[in-house]
Amino acid sequence: MTNGISSDLIFRVQEVLEDYAGNGKLVYYSDIEARIGEEIPFFLWHSILDPIYEELMALGKPDLTVIVISKETNYPPFFSQ
Ramachandran category for residue 40: left, alpha or beta (phi over 0 → left; psi -120 to 50 → alpha): beta
Contact 52, 64 (CB under 8 A): yes
Q: CA-to-CA distance for 54 and 22, rounded, in angstroms?
A: 20
Q: CA-to-CA distance for 70 and 33, rounded, in angstroms?
A: 12
Contact 66, 21 (CB under 8 A): no
Contact 61, 67 (CB under 8 A): no
**Consecutive 10-residue averages of pLDDT for the chain (81 residues):** 82 97 95 96 92 96 94 71 39
pLDDT of residue 22: 94
On whether residue 37 sits in a domain, the answer given is yes
Q: CA-to-CA distance for 65 and 62, rounded, in angstroms?
A: 9
pLDDT of residue 81: 39
Q: Domain tally for the chain?
A: 1
Q: Residue 59: give the domain boundaries.
A: 7-69
Please tell me the pTM assigned to this model.
0.88
On whether residue 76 sits in a domain, the answer given is no
